[in-house]
Every structure is written in C-alpha cells, then in structure tokens.
Structure 1
Amino acid sequence: MASYYRSPLSIFFSVDFVDEWFLMKSPVPVITITATYLYFVLKVGPDYMKTRKPYNLNSIIIIYNIFQVFVSVYLFYLCMQLMLANGLVSKTCLLEHEDTRRDITNVMYYYFLAKVSELLDTVFFVLRKKTSQVTFLHVYHHAMMAIVSWSILKYEPTYMTIYIRNVNSFVHMIMYTYYCLSALPVLKKYLWWKKYITKLQLVRFFFF
C-alpha cells in the first residue's frame, strides 16, 4: 500500500503510474528536448538565419496560437473544476483516492506537455528573425518551465500547484489570443491592450 505524507502546504504522494506516460519514465527525454531547444535558439537557428530572409509563417502561427488558446482554456477549465470541488488548499488527503489522484496528475501532465509545445514560440521568433523577442527572460522561462513542470509531476506532484497552473493558463489564454489576432494585419490597430498583457505577464513572473 502506498504511503502518504501530508505537510501544512501540500500533499506528497507516490504515483508510480506516471512512469508509464510519454516522456515521464526518465529525465533524459525532457533534458534532451530542452538542450536541443537551447542549442537551436541560441546557436544553430541564429547562425542559419544570418544570411537568409525571415520566413513567412503567418498561417502556421495562426493555427499554432489557436491550438494554444484551446489548450489553455482546457487546462483552465480542468484546474477550476478541481479547485471548485476541493478548494484552494485541500483540507483532506484527496490523493488517497485513485480517481482524484488521477485527476490531479492528469492535469499536471497535460500542463507539462503544453510547456513542451510552447518551446515552439522561440523557434518561430528565430525563423522570423524576431531577435528582439528572444530575450534571456523569454528563453530562461520556457526552458525552465519544461524542466520544472516535469520534475514536479515526477517527484512532488502537490495539489497546491493546481492553483499556479490555473493562473498561468488564464494568462496564456489572453496572451495566445493576442498573438493570434496580431498575426492578422487587419486587426492590429484594434490591439490596444498589448501593454496590459505585458504587465500581466510581469506580475505572473514575479509571483510564480
């Protein structure tokens, strides 16, 4: 029988079935993906694009951003369902029950996969020669989110992280909606709320 340890802020538990999921058995795949990402966006990509014109990826980016909006909405919905049912900080050991344990770890796994898919943000910046967007904070955030979300799910999948994922998903809903609309030239003049997205992202970085 699995043993459980409860701290004042979170619930720690054993979830052996997570090892059966794609990319979760060993840290090697996620480390390889992140290292490849860093090598491409910091070295290979810029060198390759140095003598080339920016790629026109508008159609791909619109589809990609629509996909990310739907992913963020779905994650926000799943997190809200858990929080409405169990509160911000659960007062009971929810994870003693197989169904609830699956629900919580499923959300965390979907969130991790979303962080891996979001590495394409920077790849698109590089291929479009939007070098001003490839900042240290941007690259650091994307690389660390992939590693950290994998590590938390693998070694310390606490219920408290559902709140953080909920906030991040909400921010990403707005952010990717903006990115999608900004890819359509006819709508750019209506996107006066860009500065508020930047502020929202900075608040999110500060607290989470």
Structure 2
Amino acid sequence: MHNIKAIIFDLDGVLVDTAKYHYLAWKRLAQELNIEFSIEDNERLKGVSRMNSLEIILEIGNITLDDDTKIKLAEKKNIWYVEYISKLTPADILPGVIDFIESIKANGLKIALGSASKNSMLILTNLKLTDYFDAIIDGTKVSSAKPNPEVFLKGALELNIPPCQCIVFEDAQAGIDAAINAGMYCIGIGSKNRLKKANLVLSGFSNMTFDKLGL
C-alpha cells in the first residue's frame, strides 16, 4: 500500500464508544415493548441504520407494527440516545485516537468522517474533534446505509481523493463491507474473529501512529 492520501474514520466504536448509549436507548425501548434485548442481540445492530435496528428488535420480539408507530418509536429511541451523548466530553475519546490523528496530519494526509449517525456533529462538537476533519459525511448527507458505499465515496469526493488512495477505519462488518464496496483499503478496529473481511485489524489506537501501520 503506497500513495495513500486520505483517511476516513467511522465514528461510533472507532473514535468514541457510543455503542453503550445506543444499547441503553434500544434496551429502554425494548423494555417498553416487553421484548427481551441482550448485549448479544445488540451486536446485530452495529453499523445498521436506526429503522433497520428497530426492525431487528421487533423481529426478536415477534411484533408487527405499522409504519407510523415505527417512526415514532425510532424517534423516541433517538431522543433518549441524544440525552445520553449530550453528556460526552473529550475524556470519552477512545485511547490513542488524538495521537493517531495528529500522526496522520503530520504525514500530510486528509481526514474525513464517514458515519451513518445523524448525531455526528453533536458528538464531534462535544468531543472537540470537529477541527481535525477536512470533510464530514454523516447520516444527514447520505440516503443509503452501509454496506452501501455511499458514505465513503462521498467522503472521498469531498476530499477530492480517488477511493483507491483512501483508508477506512471501521468497527462493524457492515462498514467494512461498505469500504470494500467503495474500493478502499479497510482497517478494522476490534476483534479479528468478528472483522474477518478487513485488510488489517487493530485492537485500538493505543501507542499506534500512521507510520507504525507500515503502509
């Protein structure tokens, strides 16, 4: 891998652990619907859009609802989730992230966000990360959820960098599939067993710099 010009980061689970807040909000909603919802069930929601996540929970509970009710339930979940993430501070940034991003900047690479979250700007603002990004593509700018590559292709387009010169960092299989579908090199953050399709897997960014990737 040579001639890399840009890095595109997913947000949830890569730069900050917001997964726990998604889980708390979905669990709260599931309890209202008398559905048993476990941490294992929550794994199925990683990298999945809000409405599709609700469909999975309803499937677990064997419940069928009309579209209007589903929209209201998804909105209720998001209100709870926003309440949780509104309390985020820079202390919630995952270990090593800032040093890694600064090592990318030192190498002259561009940085974009590629996240399905419609709350990305709120999260980045609370974490004081916004200024690090040359482009921010989130759920308000895309119409297709991962594994569709739209979010990453729009990031590359906004950076004016060809997809083949971009590296994506992702923690969910749907996001890794999206990166592959975009024709980008993909580095998984998490478990090698769970992220088998990634070109490379790291447990996290602690003591990691761009140069140490050896690309």
User: TM-score, normalization: structure 2?
Assistant: 0.26
Structure number with the higher strand fraction is 2
Structure number with the higher helix fraction is 1
Larger Rg over CA atoms: 1
User: TM-score, normalization: structure 1?
Assistant: 0.27
Q: RCO higher in 1 or 2 (8 Å CA, sep ≥ 6)? A: 1
